[in-house]
Structure 1
Amino acid sequence: MSKTSFIVNQDGLAIFTFLRPERRNAIDYDVMEDLRTALIQVKASSRIKMLMITGEGEKAFCSGGDLEVFHKLKTEKEAYEMLNKMGMILYDLLTLPKPTVALLNGAAVGGGCEVAIACDLRLASEYSKMGFVQGNLGITTGWGGASILMEKLLPQDALFMLYTGKLFTAEEARQIGYVQKVFSSHHLQEQAINHCGEILKKPYSVLTAYKEAMIRKWTSQNLFAQIQEEIKQCAKLWETDEHHKRVDSFMNRKS
């Protein structure tokens, strides 16, 4: 059974969906590869003007990395290989030369928040919640999310999200600029697509020109190197007893 879906509508909107509601749309290696492939297709196709990423169901957009898979990684080296793989995919998402939007149909937790912040815009269901909870597990963001967050939010708001590791409501997230628009959960995707209609009406050349201007800014600031340092730091913390104990405790609490 496929863990993701990828479709393109007649207006040039590509929609990539996490299809693992039983795992709160968590990311494993298969999902990583599907997202990497989708980004290649979006970049190569002149028919596609915009990419939307969302999740199946109403409970979760994405809960980040699948702990049942990634908790088997114990050493710094093992962790770095996984973190760097996904970090580079998110950098490709961040620098995709087309508009991107995350539609938060439910909770965006940990790495799910990193996926969302790598998109240009974030639209959310009124019942969605979001938080960079990695600190509660004894690690930092490891896919580049903190570096990207600090580019997109005011410093004090970015640090508050990271320091506290709390879950924000959709409205709280909108107030600090993490979310741009909150919708009712009724016909959520239809509302989001309609909202994106104003963007899709613009000429392809205009959209790519604006996005490429932003990419030039990030390139001049060497954001890629900052993300690499973030990945290395997380890999070091991943190996610690503190991290493994906290994940064990979390998984035992769930079972």
Structure 2
Amino acid sequence: MSYHNIIIDTEDKTAIVTINRPESLNALNAQTINEISSALDELASDNKIRVIILTGSGEKSFVAGADIKEFSDFNQEKAEELARNGQTILFNKIENLSKPVIAAVNGFALGGGLELAMACHIRYTSENAKLGLPEVTLGLIPGYGGTQRLPKLVGKGIANELIFSAKMISAQKAKEIGLVNEVYPIEELLNKTKELASTIARNSPMAISKAINATNLSDTNKGFETEIKYFGELFEMEDKKEGVSAFLEKRKPSF
């Protein structure tokens, strides 16, 4: 499939999806959301790909936010449809994808951009990154999961502070509060993210897929039972047999 607003590169078992709208600081519009969604479907079904990296073009911005001019004149019905479709088409899809998605946040991650990063399973950022949810300055609230995912990552009190104040925080502050995993110089960010992807790609894809599903239920009453169920199911699968055999034979597993 051909894309206009994103670029897909593959290296070994990793796919790098780059949002490529530098003229608008990679802002999310409907076409970009649909293209990323289609790319995820394509990559999820590709057995050669184990990990996906999501990043933005250039060194200024990961995603500076949603493309406001697209919805500035919406009424309530259209606005609710926009938020619901965005969650279904992209944000929930990322969170529940069977393969890990790592955000390489290279600059601004504001509004929908931060919500996109939060939907990913892991977040690495550049030192120049600025993160925030400025929606209340527009008389709105985050509509792509910001009020739900941010408290789970940083706690309700800090999430409320960031959402109510609309302030931007530095990459280092984001790491301190648990919003991002690591911070690197901009010139090292993508390579460090690729290193992590390579490490993950060596492990059992089936086990990782189950771990994603179980971890996503960690704040529900289904979490422990799901973990137990998946733990048992994996005993019947080839990855477990290969992993245990490799351990006992003192060799690296081949998944």
TM-score when scaled to structure 2?
A: 0.80
Structure 1 pair 9–218 and aligned structure 2 pair: CA distance change class (3 A):
farther
Specify which structure has the bigger relative contact order, considering alpha-carbon pairs within 8 angstroms and separated by 6 or more residues: 1
Residue 184 (str. 1) matches residue 185 (str. 2)? yes
Matched residue, 1:65: 66
The ranges of structure 1 where at least 4 consecutive aligned residues each deviate by more than 6 angstroms after the TM superposition are none
User: Match for residue 25 of structure 2?
Assistant: 24
Q: 2:197 and 2:47 mapped to 1: Cα distance?
A: 18
8 Å CA contact retained: 2:124, 2:189: no
Query: 1:100 — aligned with what?
Result: 101
Match of residue 173 from structure 1: 174
- In structure 2, the residue matched to 1:125 is 126
Q: Judging changes above 3 Å, is the alpha-carbon distance between structure 1 residues 138 and 221 closer, same or farther for their aligned structure 2 residues?
A: farther
Q: In the aligned structure 2, how far is the partner of 1:220 from the partner of 1:22?
A: 45
Q: CA deviation at 1:213?
A: 1.1
Task: Quickly say closer, same or farther: Cα 1:9–1:219, change in 2 above 3 A.
Answer: farther
How far apart are 1:190 and its partner, in Å?
A: 1.7
Q: CA deviation at 1:91?
A: 0.7
SS in 2 for 1:186: helix
Cα distance in 2 between the residues matched to 1:75 and 1:168: 31
Q: Secondary structure at the match of 2:206?
A: helix
Letter in 1 for 2:45: A
Is the contact between residue 14 and residue 198 of structure 2 (CA under 8 Å) also seen in structure 1? Answer: no
Q: In 1, Cα distance between the equivalents of 2:126 and 2:22?
A: 16
Structure-1 separation of matches of 2:138 and 2:82: 17
- RMSD between superposed Cα atoms in Å: 1.9
Structure 1 16/186 Cα, relative in aligned 2: closer, same or farther at 3 Å? same
Task: State the one-letter code of the partner of 1:121.
Answer: I
Structure 2 vs 1, CA of residues 67 and 212 (structure 1 numbering), >3 Å: closer, same or farther?
Answer: same
Higher mean displacement: 123-132 or 207-216: 207-216
Amino acid at match of 1:34: E
What percent of counterpart residues are identical?
27
Cα distance, 1:195 vs. partner?
3.3
CA contact (8 A) 1:118 1:145 kept: no
**Per-residue deviation, 1:205:** 2.1
1:197 Cα deviation after fit: 2.7
Is 1:41 paired with 2:42? yes
Specify every segment of 5 or more residues in structure 2 that has no aligned partner in the other structure, as ranges: 224-255
| Cα distance between partner residues in 2 of 1:97 and 1:145 | 22
Instruction: Find out whether 1:2 has 2:4 as its counterpart.
Output: yes
Provide the residue aligned with 1:82 in structure 2.
Answer: 82
Query: How many Å separate the matches in 1 of 2:85 and 2:65?
Result: 14
Q: 1:29: Cα distance to partner?
A: 1.3
Q: Could you list the runs of 5+ residues in structure 1 that have no partner in the other structure? A: 223-255
Shift of residue 218 of structure 1?
Answer: 6.0
Which residue number in structure 1 is paired with residue 155 of structure 2?
A: 154
SS in 2 for 1:52: strand
* CA–CA separation in structure 2 for the residues paired with 1:157 and 1:3: 34
Distance 1:114 1:220 in 2: 25
Is 1:53 the counterpart of 2:54 in the alignment? yes
Distance apart, 1:14 and its partner CA: 1.6
Aligned partner of residue 167 in structure 2, secondary structure: coil
Map Cα deviations across residues 17-37 of structure 1 (whole Å, 9 max, x no partner): 110011010111110110110
- CA distance in structure 2 between the aligned counterparts of 1:152 and 1:136, rounded to whole angstroms: 23
Given residue 16 of structure 1, which amino acid in structure 2 is its aligned partner?
A: V
**Cα offsets for 1:91-144 (capped at 9, x unmatched):** 111111221111111100111010000011110000111001111111001011
1:134 maps onto 2:135 in alignment: yes
Match of 2:244 in 1: none
Aligned to 1:209: 210
